[in-house]
Structure 1
Amino acid sequence: MLGGVKVLSARDVRRAVPMRTAVRAVREAFRELADGSFVLPPRQVFGDGKVLVMSAYHAPTGTAVVKTIGIALDQVPAIRATVVWTGNGTQLVAEGSSITTLRTGAVVGVATDLLAAADAERLTVIGTGAQAPDQVRAVVAARPIADVVLAGRSAERAERLAQELRAEFPEVRFTAGTEVDAAVADAQIICCATSSATPLFSVDALPEHVHVNAIGAFRPTMRELPRDLLADATTVLVDQREAAMEESGEIIDAVTSGTLTTTALVELGEALTTPPTPSGRTVFKSVGVGCQDWAIAAALEHSLHRVAG
């Protein structure tokens, strides 16, 4: 407690909001986003993407969240953030990196539940940084995953992450490696969580039926997905069209080249109201929007209020 303000650590966040709770909260937030319940100012970007500020106001409850993020891709951790949630007579200040990875995992859980095969058992995660564990947790919460391949530039780091996740999910088989094409060849679900400026694989390396989540590229100069995948996909889902066209290198490139039209993009909130019928290859591209942070912070506040009551 600091001057009447509750200050919460990453451990506090994790204890209060497990992944399944986060997925439910984020799903409901996107439904409300589609209904017009949120005011979402554009993300502010400073220093060529080194500092970001995101905010969201939830009109029905009069509550709001503001997140500041510092990004240094050459450091570990690469993301440092703080989330401030205000409303209902309460103000919370929470460690924001944990909220960022949790809400990013949660939105992938929502999208995966919409688009991946119901019996999907094989997951490949490309990238072994801070976002990777919550990508695994979210997909495991959404589908009966039995096998996970972790692919990264460092075999040692990939194996270290595999060991950590084996302890958390003893029923799942984890394999670590560095060969991306081999890692995606038999996948039913793929999660891309890197800062790559060039596509991670070719469309020819993918199975004919696969769902791909891409959350790592958040600048116009970054691209994890090949252009041909966006042209080939039966559904291209985004968290928000406006945000994708401002920040997603893959979407901007595909639209600019004429490979994709903005009308072909399906917003997540729309898909929750009218679920698509997935087939072949499907894609979810997320750059993150403020209602996700609000959803996790609101769930955190609700959990603390319940405990206090």
Structure 2
Amino acid sequence: MEPSLDILSKEDVKKCINAEVLMEKLEFALADYSKGEDGGTQQPLRLTIPVDHYKGRQFVMSAFSQRENALATKVVGFYPENKDEPTHPSDIMLYNPLNGSLQAIMDGTVITEYRTGLVSAIASKHLANPTSKILAILGSGVQCTGHFNALSLLYNFDDVRIWNINIQSAEIAAKKLGKPCRVCTTAEEAVKDADIICTVTSTSTPVLNKDWVKPGCHINSVGAVKPKWQELESDLMRSSVVYVDSKEAACQETGDIIISKCEIYAEIGEVINGQKEARWHETTVFKSVGKLSHKKYIFIKYLNKLIYLYSQL
């Protein structure tokens, strides 16, 4: 008898995800990755396929986790001009690592939304001031909501500000948060005196300048997904203590690192492992390119099965 194949829709995945459990798995994954061979993971750089004719890109990301005995591949698109479809359509395939047979196919959009915000929350837990009260989010897409929900698991913010180049989009995003927040007309206004700043944009030019950021602020940057794109001004990158999910990927994939020629102090996994210091009393930047973020444990409960995934952005 052939083994059954589980197929999980977007709604199935929503029912299965537990954010607290997922955050724990992601922290394990970050730590394991930064242990190198001792971490028991295999995670090559993602394959990038330009689809320039339709102004899109596709990424193929595979990983094996010895800890979870899980083998998975994620295929995700980047179509920033999508209106009626997700800008990051994705699917995840889970394989039996013993024989390579396909066990499950699941929608990856919800997992990506959760995972990206939760990784930023993990970085903030280690790098931000533990008394942080002011949150600023630049960008108003799904990651605006994802980052707010993830960070709210750790912090009780007194003031939340949102900015987007399209103010109507920012107003729509603010209503989704379910908590009063201020929509700002400029990025500078949004980040003034902020304790934590999240840049979740699709911009190709910097939206955050050094002079706007107060000393000791922590910044989570998840945009600038191409070598010639930037979210953060080069002076800001060079003057901050920079952490990444994957040094290998960050040095090849994001303009925030490549163009600024900043020094990378550590991978966030090295901080979790106690190998590097969490210098939260200084201005810190966590640059997430999705490489290590892709290699995250995704904990899914489906019917009577527990499926452990090691996935990617």
TM-score by length of 1: 0.88
In structure 2, the residue matched to 1:305 is 305
Distance in 2 (alpha carbons) for counterparts of 1:252 and 1:244: 8
Alignment of 1:1-309 (within 5 A): 4-35=4-35, 36-47=39-50, 50-76=57-83, 77-87=86-96, 91-166=103-178, 172-233=179-240, 235-255=241-261, 260-261=262-263, 264-274=264-274, 275-289=277-291, 292=294, 294-296=296-298, 299-301=299-301, 305=305
1:142-171 deviations in whole A, cap 9, x for unaligned? 2222321111122222111111111xxxxx
Which runs of no fewer than 5 residues in structure 1 stay unpaired?
Answer: 167-171
CA contact (8 A) 2:225 2:289 kept: yes
Matches of 1:303 and 1:219, distance apart in 2: 39
Q: Aligned pair in 2 of structure 1 residues 252, 39: CA closer, same or farther (>3 Å)?
A: same
Query: Contact between 2:221 and 2:288, CA under 8 Å: does it hold in 1?
Result: yes
The answer to whether the Cα contact below 8 Å between 1:119 and 1:144 also exists between their aligned partners in 2 is: no
SS at match of 1:280: coil
The count of residues paired between Structure 1 and Structure 2 equals 292
CA–CA separation in structure 1 for the residues paired with 2:64 and 2:169: 39
Tell me by how many angstroms 1:206 deviates: 1.2
- Which structure features the higher share of helix residues? 1
Check whether the contact 2:194–2:214 (CA below 8 A) recurs between aligned residues: yes
Q: Is the 8 A contact 1:64 1:294 kept in 2?
A: no
Q: Is the Cα–Cα contact under 8 Å of residues 214 and 224 in structure 1 kept in the other structure?
A: yes
Kindly provide the amino acid, as one letter, of the partner of residue 282 in structure 2: G
Name the structure 1 match of 2:310: none
Distance 1:83 1:289 in 2: 15
Q: Is the 8 A contact 1:212 1:284 kept in 2?
A: yes
8 Å Cα contact 2:30/2:292 also seen in 1 = no
Question: In 1, are the aligned partners of 2:74 and 2:91 still within 8 Å (CA)?
Answer: yes
Partners of 2:209 and 2:233 within 8 A in 1: yes
**Contact 1:7 1:94 (8 Å CA) reproduced:** yes
User: SS in structure 1 opposite 2:168?
Assistant: helix
Distance 1:283 1:61 in 2: 30
Partners of 2:215 and 2:282 within 8 A in 1: yes
Structure-2 residue corresponding to 1:169: none
Query: 1:122 and 1:151 mapped to 2: Cα distance?
Result: 14
Q: Deviations over 1:260-300 (max 9, x none)?
A: 23xx431111110124232231100000126645511xx11
When the two chains are superposed, the root-mean-square deviation of aligned CA atoms in Å is 2.2
User: How much identity, in percent, do the aligned residues show?
Assistant: 28
Q: Are the equivalent residues in 2 in contact too, given 1:237–1:283 (CA < 8 A)?
A: yes
1:69 CA drift (Å): 1.2
Cα distance in 1 for residues equivalent to 2:195 and 2:63: 34
Distance of 1:124 and 1:64 partners within structure 2? 36
CA separation in 2, counterparts of 1:292 and 1:252?
20
Structure 2 unaligned residues grouped into runs of 5+: 308-313
Cα distance 1:200–1:78, how it changes in 2: closer, same or farther (>3 A)? same
CA deviation after TM superposition for structure 1 residue 140, in Å = 1.0
Q: Distance in 1 between matches of 2:295 and 2:146?
A: 15
